[in-house]
Amino acid sequence: MKTTLLSRTSARTLAAAGLAASLVFAAGCAKSEDDASGDSSAAQDRADAGQEVSSGGDGGKTCAIDAYGGERLDLRNATVGFSQSEKEANPFRIAETASIRAEAEKRGVKLLTANAQSQFSKQISDVQDLIAKGADLLVIAPLNSDGWEPVLRAAGAKHIPIVTIDRKINATACKDYVSFIGSDFVEQGRRAADRMIETTGGKGKIAILLGAAGNNVTTERTKGFEERIKEKAPDLKVVFKQTGEFAREKGQQVTEQLIQSKPDITGIYAENDEMGLGAVNALKGAGKKAGDVKIVTIDGTKNAVRGIVDGWIDGVIESNPRFGPLAFQTLDRFTKGEKVAQDIVIKDSAYTKKNAKSDLGKAY
pLDDT digits (tens, 9 = 90+) for 79-94: 999 999 998 888 999 9
Three-state SS across 182-228? ECCHHHHHHHHHHHHHHHHCCCEEEEEEECCCCCHHHHHHHHHHHHH
Residues of the chain with pLDDT below 70 are 1-50, 55-59
Split into its structural domains, the chain has a count of 2
Rounded to whole angstroms, the Cα distance separating 97 from 105 reads 12
pLDDT of residue 98: 97
Residue 124 sits in the same domain as residue 190: no
Does residue 330 lie in a domain region?
Answer: yes
Residue 153 CB coordination number (10 Å): 11
pTM here? Answer: 0.84
Residue 119 sits in the same domain as residue 198: no
Rounded to whole angstroms, the Cα distance separating 78 from 303 reads 37
Q: Which domain holds residue 307?
A: 185-319
CATH number at residue 256: 3.40.50.2300
Rounded to whole angstroms, the Cα distance separating 305 from 288 reads 20
pLDDT of residue 49: 52
pLDDT of residue 54: 72
Residue 231 sits in the same domain as residue 84: no
Residue 227 sits in the same domain as residue 280: yes
Rounded to whole angstroms, the Cα distance separating 308 from 358 reads 12
pLDDT of residue 2: 34
Does residue 357 lie in a domain region?
Answer: no
Does residue 66 lie in a domain region?
Answer: yes
Strand pairing class (110-115; 294-299): unpaired
Residue 176 sits in the same domain as residue 252: no
Does residue 34 lie in a domain region?
Answer: yes
pLDDT of residue 14: 31
Does residue 355 lie in a domain region?
Answer: no
Residue 198 sits in the same domain as residue 169: no
Task: Please report, as a single letter, which amino acid is at residue 317.
Answer: I
Does residue 354 lie in a domain region?
Answer: no
Residue 213 sits in the same domain as residue 179: no
Residue 240 sits in the same domain as residue 129: no
pLDDT of residue 57: 64
Does residue 139 lie in a domain region?
Answer: yes
299 CA to centre of own chain: 9
Residue 274 sits in the same domain as residue 340: no
Residue 177 sits in the same domain as residue 190: no
Residue 240 sits in the same domain as residue 265: yes
Residue 18 sits in the same domain as residue 43: yes
Rounded to whole angstroms, the Cα distance separating 276 from 244 reads 9
Rounded to whole angstroms, the Cα distance separating 105 from 224 reads 37
pLDDT of residue 317: 98
Query: Which residues are CB-neighbours of 222 under 8 A, at least 6 positions away?
Result: 189, 208, 210, 241, 271
Does residue 364 lie in a domain region?
Answer: no
